[in-house]
Amino acid sequence: METKAKGPKLFAGRANPALAAAIARELGVANGQIEIGNFSDGEICVQIEENIRGEDVFIVQPTHAPAENLLELLIILDACVRASARRVTAVIPYFGYARQDRKDKPRVSIVAKLTANLITAAGADRILTMDLHSGQIQGFFDIPVDHLYAAAVLIDDLRAKELSNLVVVAPDIGSVKMARAYAKRLSSGLAIVDKRRPKPNSSEVIEVIGEVEGKNVAIVDDMVDTAGTLCNAAVALKEEGALDIYAACTHGILSGSAVDRIVKSPIKELIVTDTVPFRGELPKNFRVFSIAGVLARAILCIHKEESVSSLFNF
């Protein structure tokens, strides 16, 4: 008897339900039936409300703060494993705790490695994520990791602006590789802002390396949190004679007074994706692009056992 081919089973955590719904629409499937709640003391409880025995399961859950988002992912993973899913892929659009990926001071934890261990121990068979803060984090996992890039979405928007004399700028040394990739695809120049970070979530601009005078600028980075690095870089670039300044960041964390800081900065427009949800209404010069299509295509490739590398051709 001929059996009907099964499609991927998609389940959404509570960290970014809008993105999970968008991915489901792109795939043409419905999100799986799952009940996620809390006891009166805050303890998380999860129940998969449909049969997933032998299914190829994908769990969409970014792990940004609060820590409950990570814990919820671990509990959903465990529930799927115990429900006898054939394979469970953790789809983590934004991998939280990635900034703590090395021992840069005495007596600190390498939380990115700890997080990788927890996700693996919870039963994930593979990881699908986007624009890790540091590429080396892929090596923290002992399971396959598919690392996607939002550049395909963001570059299209920058290219559509048809900016003359464009220079792509890395706001710090860590983002040079990303900036170089953008500059190559946009056929533009490259500049670097050299900075010193005296303490977490603060930065001090030291020097602009490269020619930006009389040029339009696109600052690119993997994330914008407090926006200190981004805004300090924009101020330094303006002082060096830059014209219009745009910023493109994959993960718009935008914590604290980040939005107000960007509004008051020389940045003409900030472009981000929807890897994390946004609290409140964003100003008009903030533009949000969805990466649901990219993630949906990757999920389909994984499910069909096809190459994911074709998604990098943009």
| CA–CA distance, 161 with 268 (Å, rounded to integer) | 13
Write the CB contacts of 314 (distance below 8 Å, at least 6 apart in sequence): 151, 152, 155, 156, 185
Helix (H, G, I), strand (E, B) or coil at 308: coil
Please report the DSSP string for 234-283 in residue order.
Answer: HHHHHHTT--SEEEEEEEE---TTHHHHHHTSSEEEEEEEBSS---SPPP
Strand 189-196 to strand 204-209: parallel, antiparallel, or no bridges (unpaired)?
A: antiparallel
What is the gyration radius of the CA atoms in the chain, in angstroms? 20
The answer to whether 63 and 70 have CB atoms below 8 angstroms apart is: yes
Q: How many other β-carbons are positioned within 10 Å of the β-carbon of residue 113?
A: 19
Q: How many other β-carbons are positioned within 10 Å of the β-carbon of residue 300?
A: 16
The answer to whether 26 and 293 have CB atoms below 8 angstroms apart is: yes
Length of the chain, in residues: 314
Could you tell me the CA-to-CA distances from 30 to 64, 147, 290, 301 in Å, in that order?
25, 25, 19, 18
- Catalytic machinery residues: 195
The answer to whether 192 and 210 have CB atoms below 8 angstroms apart is: yes
Q: What single-letter DSSP state applies at residue 122?
A: T
Write the CB contacts of 160 (distance below 8 Å, at least 6 apart in sequence): none
258 dihedral zone (left: phi>0; alpha: psi -120 to 50; beta): alpha
